[in-house]
Amino acid sequence: MIRPSAARSHVDTFTAYLKERLPHHRIDTLRRVAEVLFGLIQAESTLHRKIALHIDREASQASITRMVARTFHETRLTPQDVQDVLLPLLPAGKLTFVLDRTNWKLGAADLNLLVLGVALGGVVLPLNWKVLPHGGSSEMRARMFLVGQLLKRLPARRWAVLIADREFVGQEWFTFLRQQGLKRCIRIRESTLLDESPARDHFQDLQPGEIRGVFDGAWVYGSWMQVVATLSPQGERVLVASDLSLWDTLSTYRLRWGIECTFAAMKTRGLNLEQTHMTQPDRLSRLFGFLSLALAWMVRIGTWRAEQHNIPRKKHGRPAMSRARYGCEALGRALRWGKSSFQTYLALFKAPFPAPGRQNPQLVRY
């Protein structure tokens, strides 16, 4: 039996928590944020009308849908606000950060997001992002802006390493990261010059399963770095430049897969970011903030549930679902039916993730 009073009470409880973290926002604004966030998680959709179906108000469906639209259009929910809510989830000590980009099309419009986050719970939790004004690769200044902003909240001593794909290269960028005191683990292109010769020339006879490094490092984009190479399962050379040891470079770079899991959980295999009809950068940025809050909560619950009861496995041995999905199912039921387990899930949203060394790695496709 549905218990509307309990469901509304959960909204009130979560609103009060948001007020603790975001005291500069009005309480009525935060209540709308809570309602829309709860609706988004239950609907697993970014369409206003579908979110509205899960909001319990004494109003017409059309009126609730307009409220959802106003929340995305007008609420000043910034990446810094999301950081205020999510930073208590980060465990103590050094953390691994990942930078990447996701894009999709809506009609003729190219929608493009540059995302910087922290690797936890098998995904990368977004902490800072920027909507790019084009469909191509990211601009150098945009990357520097995101990293510089986050360094104000999490100083360099908290950064174990920054991981990025081969799109994120260049001497100015590499120099910037070094000057900020950040260790780098970045895939480079085969055409990248190592000591004045293309990287591919150093690894021409690389064999499947072989891991090889450049002896004593190499000069890469104005920095002396370790360069490690291997072959992907598809036979493609993977070349990674880093400030880490040869043995740590590839194992660290593999953590970049977590951001692909993040984008999968936020897009068509999860909360359906691509369904949105919003294209204005400020509105799209707010929507991404809501999704970042939802993802962090889902993964925090999923990580805890996986410690209590292992995620079922398929015949091939991999988990049947991700931690995000495992958490979303439990949180969605608690929100929809006003269950008392909500209080446990809210307490988890206030508590740090287990330290990365304690987590059991899971290879799972969404």
Asked, for residue 363, whether it belongs to a domain, the answer is no
Same domain, 193 and 333: no
For the chain, the domain total comes to 2
Same domain, 57 and 102: no
Asked, for residue 284, whether it belongs to a domain, the answer is yes
Same domain, 137 and 219: yes
Asked, for residue 275, whether it belongs to a domain, the answer is no
Q: What is the DSSP string of 106-155?
A: ETTEEEEEEEEEEEETTEEEEEEEEEESSSSPPPHHHHHHHHHHHHHHS-
Structure tokens at 183: 């260790």
- The angle, 0 to 180 degrees and rounded to 10, between the axes of the packed helices 281-308 and 257-266 is 110
Asked, for residue 237, whether it belongs to a domain, the answer is yes
Same domain, 53 and 152: no
Asked, for residue 124, whether it belongs to a domain, the answer is yes
Same domain, 250 and 290: no
Structure tokens at 56: 């319990």
Same domain, 236 and 327: no
Same domain, 129 and 105: yes
CA dist., res. 118 & res. 95, Å (int): 7
Structure tokens at 254: 């593999």
CA dist., res. 340 & res. 334, Å (int): 7
Same domain, 245 and 204: yes
The CATH number of whichever domain residue 237 belongs to comes to 3.90.350.10
* Beta strands 159-164; 95-106: pairing state: parallel
The per-residue pLDDT for 286 is 97
pLDDT tens, 294-344? 999 999 999 999 999 888 888 777 887 899 999 999 999 999 998 999 999
CB 199 within 8 A of CB 193: yes
CA dihedral 353, 355, 357, 361 (to 10 degrees): 10
Identify the domain boundary among 258, 292, 308. 258
pLDDT by residue for the chain (366 residues), tens only, comes to 444 577 789 999 999 999 999 999 999 999 999 999 999 999 999 999 999 999 999 999 999 999 999 999 999 899 999 999 999 999 999 999 999 999 988 887 888 999 999 999 899 999 999 999 875 566 899 999 999 999 999 999 999 999 999 999 999 999 999 999 999 999 999 999 998 889 999 888 888 888 999 878 899 999 999 999 999 878 889 999 999 998 899 999 999 999 999 999 999 889 999 999 999 999 999 999 999 999 999 999 999 999 998 888 887 778 878 999 999 999 999 999 989 999 999 999 999 999 886 444 343 332
Same domain, 135 and 253: yes
Q: What is the DSSP string of 25-69?
A: S-HHHHHHHHHHHHHHHHHT---HHHHHTT---SS-HHHHHHHHH
Asked, for residue 101, whether it belongs to a domain, the answer is yes
Residue 184 is part of which domain span?
Answer: 93-258
Same domain, 111 and 230: yes
Asked, for residue 20, whether it belongs to a domain, the answer is yes
Identify the domain boundary among 258, 290, 312. 258
Asked, for residue 125, whether it belongs to a domain, the answer is yes
Same domain, 137 and 49: no
Identify the domain boundary among 200, 228, 258. 258
Q: What are the Cα distances from residue 193, in Å, to 137, 176, 211?
A: 21, 19, 20
Same domain, 170 and 240: yes
* The model scores a pTM over 0.85: yes
